[in-house]
Structure 1
Amino acid sequence: MFELHASKNGNLKNDVLSGITVALALVPEAVAFAFVAGVEPLVGLYAAFMVGLITSIFGGRPGMISGATGAMAVVMVSLVALHGVQYLFACVVLTGVLQILAGIFRLGKFIRLVPHPVMLGFVNGLAIVIFLAQLGQFKVPNAAGEHVWMQGEQLYTMLGLIVLTMAIIHLLPKLTKAVPSSLVAIIVVTILVQSLGLEARTVVDFVRDMTNDPAASIAGGLPQFAIPDVPFNLETLMIILPFSLILAAVGLIESLLTLTLIDELTGTRGRGNKECIAQGASNTVNGFFGAMGGCAMIGQSMINVNSGGRGRASGITAALGLLGFILFASGLIEMIPLAALVGVMFIVVIGTFEWSSFRILGKVPKADAFVIVLVSGVTVATDLAIAVVVGVIVSALVFAWEHAKHVIVKRSENEQGTIVYEVNGPLFFGSVTHFLEQFSVDKDSDDVIVEFKNSRVADHSAIEAIDILAERYLSRGKTMHLRHLNTECKQLLTKAGSLVEINLIEDPDYHIASDKLA
């Protein structure tokens, strides 16, 4: 119904208009995440501006939007509560340095290890999280200062405006694609509310509720450079380092997974390591300019893609547009009804959720179906980074268990009376026990050949298993020849390497991963 897959081609007009749309949606998100982190709204708005600008210019994925995010905000809140906002700024600087190092050491390639079921669970869980986050806009403060659900005419007006926004976004592209339908929807709904005097909550109402200040505004000046006001000693490092490690991991996982998703939607390929460095640089700058730090935002990235944004100009426009709102147009942005922004995000939810996963659950292996559901659930219950790590671990364990059964050793005797064992399948920690059980050491001749042509020696457990096998033959006065064993394995062998003849005939060299594509 709502198609978000689009061509890889874009143009400057689409990028600029899409960037303006994204900038409008960034305002309440940045304010909300600042509130989650326990800092002032401008700290979140500045973060959205600087992270968005730097990653758009230098990042590895044109068209991807970065800013202040909830996944990082929930990590920051305890640091702010315990030590204050200056320690947060120092923590963000260190986070950026760690992310830069991750890019320099080319760790971005490891995002390729995330299995497809984990990606499905990731996007489904994220769609649910985005949807649940919008439900907070249906609450209003009562006389006692408590947030309660809307009722009566206010609720019906909110729902009606959301439906109108979604209808415009869905129907306008059928008439024209000259302008982003999301931007048109926001403008139309805002004019309708202001001209008819409808009772609808606006962006400024949201900001004032978050800050408990009836005079609060998103207006502000340019961010100012300042070194974080913390003691530069080992004690400070020990305070911020654990938070920085978590923030760096959360930020990079969310950014690289969003990069992968945008790659699929646009049919292009981003550069993970370049994105790591850009994310790190933006967070380092944030820490020195009084902002909370951030990473890629999948919701805003989807709005951008859906609105036609493909190039760097879309992200640059979004960041500069947000700064322009803060400096010059805060009054106009504060007039926007929250219902319009909620409607935009609901369209994002519909487009983000992989509805096909319901259809394939009964057709894929049960383990994969379980991973999809598990990652979706963990994403909703905790956060994206934990969900992805859990999904990868479970997928790896399932893979190891299944492939542990695939090592088959065939025993035969050649013309010289030598026993030959041909190993088929991967030899790794999960399969070594089954591997050793298939040798008849006592019944074999004095010369034994173990052929690894059709096997892959994968890890240290496999090498240790070969050493154990060598000891068994050596203790019985027999010689074991290892044939077609890869050079890396030979170099790591200890007992077998010194006491057993090794024939290096056409021995392969394995290259597990390449940095060329990262």
Structure 2
Amino acid sequence: MNTISNPTTSSAAPVSLRSELVAGVTLSVIALPSSMAAGVVAYQALGPEMAAAGSIAGLAGAVFAGLVGALARTPSPVPTTPGVMVALLQANFATTMLATTGNLNATIAAMAICVALAGLWQVLFGLAGLGNVVRYVPHPVLAGFGLGVSLLLFIGQMPMLFGRTSFGALVTTPFGASELAMPLIGLVLIAGMLLLVRRFPRLPVPLIGLFAAIVFYHGLHLVFPGIALGRTASGDTLGELAGIVGAALGSFATLPREMIQPIILNSVAVAAIGIFDTLLTVRASKGYIETDATPRRELAGLGLANMAASVSGAAAMTTSLSVAVPAYLAGGRTTLTRIVGCFALLAIALIPGFIGSMPLLGLTALTLFFVVRSINWSVIDMVRDAIRPQYPSLRGRAWRDLSILLAVMLGILLVHPTMGVLIGVVLSCLLFITDMARPMIVARTTGATLLSRRGRSAHDMDLLRQKGERTLVLRLQGVLFFGNCDDLDTELRRLEPEFDTAILDMRRVTDIDATGNKLLNDMRARLAKNGRNLCIAGLTPELALFIGLAIETLPDLDAALERFEEKSLGEHLNAPHAQDDLEFLQSLSIDRRKIFTAAVEHRAYAPGDILCRMGDAGDGMWIILSGSISVRIPATSGALRVAGIAAGAPAGELALLEGNPRSADLLADGSLQTLYLSKSAFETLSDEAPDIGQAIITWIAIITAQRLRSSSEALRFAASE
């Protein structure tokens, strides 16, 4: 079998050429209806007779501009196709231009120039490395924009389903009996597709809907020749589309100057929609398909595709994960999938009479199907949280999010989609500034109250609580930049006489700018000069790398606490515990100690030895004389260390008392010396020497209570705002 290497994965596993071809055909089948529907949306504002040309424009964009995107973007099965959402912006723009100029060719030329400029902005945005800016766009802004555009599409397309040109005409114009078949069939198609996609998500539901529309349309016309079902794409072909676009571009020089400003403004809005769509697709695709797509190349490639689209039908392009997933499941992994898909679409477009047989009713139903599928239903959660939140503290934030969503949505519905983009940008900036201005320090405690999860003897715990007052723990949040980092420095200077070590819990820090990084390192140098330590815990690997090696960074707060607890215990930490030094034996006589000694078994372990595994029978407990144990539980990424147990403390004591299976794996960190008390020996001790059994139970209860106290403090600290 012929194979090609898969450039989207790090492994050298071959990809089947046959699978790539099949996936390419699958891609074309899925992209066909959505591309044609997007073209219809973009062109229908030019008049009912141009809607058919729009379906060809969408198909031409998927073929020719899609091929440019396939070659320019990161190798993967994610295609470059016309988008219904961005087509709405084009339709609004076309309505304005046609009303201003009254010239069809000039309007199409303006649409083409707008798409070309949008492509230019996307290339520049990508090459400048600004793709990560989208990370800072709040969810309510994105949700409001998506909902507003969806509703605007719904308002614009629903009249077409009833054979009317506007929503006003839909409300005011009476219906004849013969006209009811068109909306009825359209609604049945939409409902059927929604049910199919819910029950059978892997089926090419849009294509099934399109073919069903063709069958309904032509079948009913055969039975009832006079039935009103709208028109088809008629005889429009790629050649006729080329003539339309060519004539329009020929009138470029005649465009009036007053059209320049709206062209530029609309191109920015078209570019913004494409950028949002593409970057969200890049983020989402990593959870569905194997791709190493980067925002820089994806945006530059999309921009080049839109430049090509400006001369191949003027249907603006975007990327589509929903089209890519079926192709991926069919075996598509590389650029070849997209190339094959483009040529398969071209072959479909060249089939005599095929495009002309498609009813515009079916394409309108498809558009409304895509609209319903694209609605972000999280607005329901926002309304619920605003009215009846699960936690009262969420009410204020829910109302804020809902207000932002409504502001963006109403800007789109009542003014223009460009206004929605502008409102979204302004609100994103204001929210970012507000979040940046939030207090950096949200909680403060000391090592005396907040201990690590490492199990220790009661004596060691008491010692740590005494020495822990000199360990300061601060929990930080948000973005660390010059302003709030300066506040952090001021607070550390104020508290400096009270601590020897400062631990900064940065688990909720989302970013650090260059000035924040410099101030952090300046703080570390100043504290080190004064004989104090600064430790950072919980940073993401990327931010830890950005800070550099000058500041000690640990993966989480528990690891940092454990590190400085070990320093506090000093020599006492590694000192072996003689059996007679065990705390619960101190109150027993020598004779009673001998009875205990006879009941236990000395067990030694080498580094890495497994004492027990999760699920093993709970038949006893270990008492650590020297060394330490790690407590691990299975996780998807491997064994996860959840705690440690030091010398002088018990391990597996709950299984001894309850008799339940082990709840975790126990692993020797290094050379380990233990006493093992089996369940049967413990029961014998409790019967024959109840004072010894009671001493053991009391000791376990004291250590368990101390652990619970530490856990409660850790939870309180983690939940503090």
TM bracket (short chain): 0.5 to 0.7
> What does 1:8-23 correspond to in 2, within 5 Å?
12-13=21-22, 15-23=24-32
SS at match of 1:62: coil
Residue 133 of structure 1: how far off its partner (Å): 4.2
Residue 319 of structure 1: how far off its partner (Å): 4.6
- In 2, the alpha carbon distance for the partners of 1:485 and 1:203 equals 76
- In 1, the alpha carbon distance for the partners of 2:530 and 2:198 equals 68
- Identify the match of residue 81 of structure 2 among 38, 59, 66: 66
- In 1, the alpha carbon distance for the partners of 2:278 and 2:27 equals 20
Residue 291 of structure 1: how far off its partner (Å): 3.9
Change (3 A) 1:292 1:195: closer
Correspondence for 2:118: 95
Q: Which amino acid aligns with 1:193?
A: Y
Change (3 A) 1:48 1:111: same
8 A Cα contact 1:97 1:280, kept in partner: yes
Matched, 1:332 2:354: yes
- Identify the match of residue 396 of structure 1 among 408, 417, 432: 432
- Identify the match of residue 229 of structure 2 among 201, 204, 208: 201
Correspondence for 1:378: 408
Deviations 1:476-510 (A, max 9, x none): xxxxx953169xxxxxxxxxxxxxx9999989999
Q: Which amino acid aligns with 2:206?
A: S
Bigger drift between 331-340 and 352-361 goes to 352-361
> What does 1:257-406 correspond to in 2, within 5 Å?
257-264=280-287, 270-287=293-310, 289=311, 291-292=313-314, 294-296=316-318, 302=322, 305=325, 311=332, 316=339, 319-320=342-343, 323-324=346-347, 327-329=350-352, 331-355=353-377, 358-359=380-381, 361-362=384-385, 363=390, 365-366=394-395, 367=397, 370-371=400-401, 374-375=404-405, 378-379=408-409, 381-382=411-412, 383=417, 385-386=421-422, 389=425, 392-393=428-429, 395-397=431-433, 399-400=435-436, 402-403=438-439, 406=442
Change (3 A) 1:164 1:228: closer
SS at match of 2:303: helix
Residue 107 of structure 1: how far off its partner (Å): 2.2
- In 2, the alpha carbon distance for the partners of 1:176 and 1:511 equals 37
- In 2, the alpha carbon distance for the partners of 1:217 and 1:388 equals 39
Bigger drift between 75-84 and 180-189 goes to 75-84
- In 1, the alpha carbon distance for the partners of 2:200 and 2:285 equals 26
Q: Which amino acid aligns with 2:35?
A: L
TM-score, normalisation: structure 1:
0.63
- In 1, the alpha carbon distance for the partners of 2:33 and 2:127 equals 34
SS at match of 1:296: strand
8 A Cα contact 2:138 2:428, kept in partner: yes
Change (3 A) 1:196 1:357: same
Change (3 A) 1:425 1:129: same
Deviations 1:217-252 (A, max 9, x none): 455357488899559xx9999896555444433432
Q: Which amino acid aligns with 2:359?
A: P
Two-structure CA RMSD over aligned residues (Å): 5.7
- In 1, the alpha carbon distance for the partners of 2:258 and 2:153 equals 38
Residue 116 of structure 1: how far off its partner (Å): 4.8
Where structure 1 has 5 or more consecutive residues not aligned to the other structure, the ranges are 1-8, 208-214, 411-419, 467-480, 487-500
- In 1, the alpha carbon distance for the partners of 2:517 and 2:544 equals 20
Residue 67 of structure 1: how far off its partner (Å): 1.4
- Identify the match of residue 220 of structure 1 among 239, 264, 268: 239
Correspondence for 1:162: 187
Matched, 1:113 2:128: no
TM-score, normalisation: structure 2:
0.48
Matched, 1:54 2:84: no
- In 1, the alpha carbon distance for the partners of 2:380 and 2:354 equals 42
- In 2, the alpha carbon distance for the partners of 1:346 and 1:13 equals 29
Q: Which amino acid aligns with 1:396?
A: F
8 A Cα contact 1:65 1:304, kept in partner: no
Bigger drift between 85-94 and 192-201 goes to 85-94
8 A Cα contact 2:140 2:402, kept in partner: yes
SS at match of 2:219: helix
- In 2, the alpha carbon distance for the partners of 1:440 and 1:173 equals 60
Residue 349 of structure 1: how far off its partner (Å): 4.4
Correspondence for 2:524: 484
8 A Cα contact 1:375 1:390, kept in partner: no
Where structure 2 has 5 or more consecutive residues not aligned to the other structure, the ranges are 1-15, 447-470, 547-721
- Identify the match of residue 186 of structure 1 among 210, 214, 221: 210
Change (3 A) 1:355 1:444: closer
Residue 135 of structure 1: how far off its partner (Å): 0.9
SS at match of 1:484: helix
- Could you say which structure has the greater relative contact order, defined with CA pairs below 8 angstroms and 6 or more residues apart? 1
- In 1, the alpha carbon distance for the partners of 2:261 and 2:196 equals 55
Residue 155 of structure 1: how far off its partner (Å): 2.6
8 A Cα contact 1:140 1:149, kept in partner: no
- In 2, the alpha carbon distance for the partners of 1:310 and 1:349 equals 28
Correspondence for 2:271: 248
SS at match of 1:406: strand
Residue 317 of structure 1: how far off its partner (Å): 6.0
- In 1, the alpha carbon distance for the partners of 2:200 and 2:442 equals 57
Q: Which amino acid aligns with 2:187?
A: I
Deviations 1:65-118 (A, max 9, x none): 421632541675457756765455455444323322322232223333344555
Larger Rg, first or second structure (1 or 2)? 2
Residue 191 of structure 1: how far off its partner (Å): 2.0
Bigger drift between 375-384 and 276-285 goes to 375-384
SS at match of 1:140: coil
SS at match of 1:273: helix
Bigger drift between 22-31 and 238-247 goes to 238-247
- In 2, the alpha carbon distance for the partners of 1:176 and 1:248 equals 30
Correspondence for 2:664: none
8 A Cα contact 1:90 1:230, kept in partner: no
Residue 334 of structure 1: how far off its partner (Å): 3.4
Change (3 A) 1:461 1:422: farther
SS at match of 1:16: helix
- Identify the match of residue 26 of structure 1 among 35, 46, 49: 35
Q: Which amino acid aligns with 1:180?
A: P
Residue 263 of structure 1: how far off its partner (Å): 4.7
Give the aligned length: 452
8 A Cα contact 1:203 1:335, kept in partner: no
Residue 59 of structure 1: how far off its partner (Å): 2.7
- In 2, the alpha carbon distance for the partners of 1:161 and 1:73 equals 24
Residue 271 of structure 1: how far off its partner (Å): 3.1
Residue 23 of structure 1: how far off its partner (Å): 1.4
